[in-house]
Amino acid sequence: MSGRPIRSGAEYIESLRGRNLKVYLMGEPVSEPVDHPIIRPSINAVAETYDLANSNPELASAMSPLTGERINRFLHIATSPADLVMQNKMQRRLGQLTGTCFQRCVGMDALNALHSVTFDLDRNNGTGYHDRFKDFLVRVQHSNLVIGGAMTDVKGDRSKSPSQQADPDLFVRVTRRTPEGIFISGAKAHQTGCLNSHWLIVMPTMRLEAADKDYAIAGAVPVDAGGIAYICGWQSCDTRSAEGGEIDAGNARFAGQEAMIVFEDVFVPNEHIFMDGEVEFASTLVERFTCYHRRSYVCKTGVGDVLIGAAATIADYNGVERASHVRDKLVEMTHLNETIYGAGIAASHQGMEMKSGAFLPDEMLANVCKHHVTRLPYEIGRLAQDLAGGLMVTLPSERELRHETIGPMIEKYLKGRADIPTEDRIRILRLVENMTLGRNAVGYLTESMHGAGSPQAQRIQIARAMQIEFKKELAKTLAGINSASRQEIADDLSTYMARVFAPVQRN
């Protein structure tokens, strides 16, 4: 973590080489992930986060109050609603540039959540976690590293708590403690961009009870630490990246990445431990992280912009761009996409200051944003498939297109508009396929459903925060109904006014 900081996407890619990670893909060990054709597109997507910070520093970087240096915005602690808004704007732009998951939002949101939680934990318990966390963050900011967040445990029997599981390793836990630090074992599932990170932030995944003390662990672990194995996820159309050519991949340059991380007695030194046994703060960390992360799903609107553009392009290539129903479908796709963005950006605008000085997005609107994301991208994807037509899933491969005998037939019979090359028509159809059925559909659709919590998780949080008694009193007042409980909801009114009508704070 010392020495010259990483400055560009190219330098970032080189920083991942030679780490001797224990990686498995399709049942085989991967000696160098950087050069693996299935993994490399996901690395390229992360590299864009570095290059955007260079080409547009106002958008993708910020001045660190800890170091006084300009740093990548993914490593910055938001200290105003304006900071939160800029995170969202950066996320949308990166979605536009990559058409996929660029894998750094989880780490950014983990850092922001830990800033306030470690501060509150220290104030309550007299511990020293916050200073440890800041020291770690300063080193990471200086070196300009990628942080991955690891929250989701494999969970086993969902009806049982971590300590009640038949196998204690179904949630990541402390297996032993020494004067120098702790050892952890267990597994984290669905881990976005973990191979492409430099450090992992391990966090608890749920509310914990006193018997779950060994599972209340948060800390930083190097990706190349001893005892870690990575089992890559297997996603639709993955092998197209390794089969030669580029057309059939749809988006040959960029992709997302998910893997399972298996920890077997992995050592975490004291200076990298930010919570150890404080079960009463586990739910606080989970709730603050999910608040950040659920409004971070505005990243899907950048990907949505690409898909809307692809749908409009294929309509153009098919010669139907002027049809009223085509225009109406594009308007609907845009309306749905902007609905997601509006909720996320509003959550950021209404961010509130925590005691540590970090700003937390509005919890209600963050959950509304993510709840939209569990639904609306599916309709955007359906409309894109509607406009693309059935040829999207019956196209012959690039090998046929390049074939000496068959190629001319494809050129002739898969022609759309006379002035548009057949290959261009095939390319845009493959992109729509990639984003709605193929490899990047995982990041746009399935992750939209389950990432940062499945739909019911948002509905629970919305129910907790909807202040229904306060709203009933509003109605009773206007209807002229006397209510003995009006005074009892004074605190609700105060909370609501502070949340909704507080003046916007800016840097």
Structural contact between residues 451 and 403, judged by C-beta atoms closer than 8 angstroms: no
> Looking at 105, 232, 291, 369, which residue is catalytic?
105
Cα→Cα distances 91→152, 250, 412, 432, 441, Å: 22, 22, 41, 21, 18
pLDDT value at 495 more than 70 = no
Q: What is the pLDDT of residues 84-97, one digit of tens each?
A: 999 999 999 999 99
Residue 192 labelled as part of a binding site: yes
pLDDT value at 407 more than 60 = yes
431-434, Cβ contacts within 8 angstroms, sequence gap of 24 or more: 431/99, 431/250, 431/251, 431/306, 431/310, 432/250, 432/307, 432/310, 432/311, 432/314, 432/384, 432/385, 432/388, 432/392, 433/237, 433/250, 433/388, 433/392, 433/393, 433/395, 434/237, 434/249, 434/250, 434/251
CATH fourth-level superfamily of 296-464: Butyryl-CoA Dehydrogenase, subunit A, domain 3 (1.20.140.10)
Q: Evaluate the CA torsion angle 154, 263, 29, 13 in order and state its sign.
A: positive
- CATH 1.20.140.10 in the chain, residues? 296-464
> Looking at 48, 49, 101, 369, which residue is catalytic?
101
- 297 labelled catalytic: yes
Structural contact between residues 186 and 192, judged by C-beta atoms closer than 8 angstroms: no
For the domain with range 9-280, which CATH number is right: 1.10.357.10, 2.40.110.10, 3.40.50.300, 3.40.640.10?
2.40.110.10
The model's pTM:
0.94
> Looking at 100, 115, 258, 372, which residue is catalytic?
258
Cα–Cα distance for residue pair 484/499, rounded to 1 Å: 25
> Looking at 98, 192, 290, 313, which residue is catalytic?
192
Q: Evaluate the CA torsion angle 151, 154, 156, 157 in order and state its sign.
A: positive
- 105 labelled catalytic: yes
Structural contact between residues 222 and 1, judged by C-beta atoms closer than 8 angstroms: no
475 or 381, which is more confident: 381
Cα–Cα distance for residue pair 383/308, rounded to 1 Å: 9
First to last CA, the chain: 29
- 369 labelled catalytic: no
- 232 labelled catalytic: no
* For range 132-148, the mean pLDDT: 98
- 447 labelled catalytic: yes
Q: What is the pLDDT of residues 48-98, one digit of tens each?
A: 999 999 999 999 999 999 999 999 999 999 999 999 999 999 999 999 999
CA atoms within 13 A on the CB side of 314: 26
> Looking at 297, 317, 341, 444, which residue is catalytic?
297
Q: Residue 1: what pLDDT? A: 42
- 291 labelled catalytic: no
Q: What is the pLDDT of residues 307-342, one digit of tens each?
A: 999 999 999 999 999 999 999 999 999 999 999 999
Q: What DSSP string describes 328-356? A: HHHHHHHHHHHHHHHHHHHHHHT-EE-TT
Cα–Cα distance for residue pair 177/193, rounded to 1 Å: 29
> Looking at 292, 299, 341, 436, which residue is catalytic?
299
Structural contact between residues 237 and 173, judged by C-beta atoms closer than 8 angstroms: no
- CATH 2.40.110.10 in the chain, residues? 9-280
Of 22-31, 193-202, 235-244, the poorest mean pLDDT is in 235-244
Q: What is the pLDDT of residues 242-255, one digit of tens each?
A: 888 899 999 999 99
Cα→Cα distances 262→171, 221, 266, 276, 480, Å: 11, 13, 10, 20, 61
pLDDT value at 496 more than 70 = no
Pairing of strands 352-353, 359-360: antiparallel
Q: Residue 328: what pLDDT? A: 98
> Looking at 130, 142, 190, 293, which residue is catalytic?
293
> Looking at 278, 398, 447, 473, which residue is catalytic?
447
Q: Residue 324: what pLDDT? A: 98
Q: Evaluate the CA torsion angle 290, 280, 78, 201 in order and state its sign.
A: negative
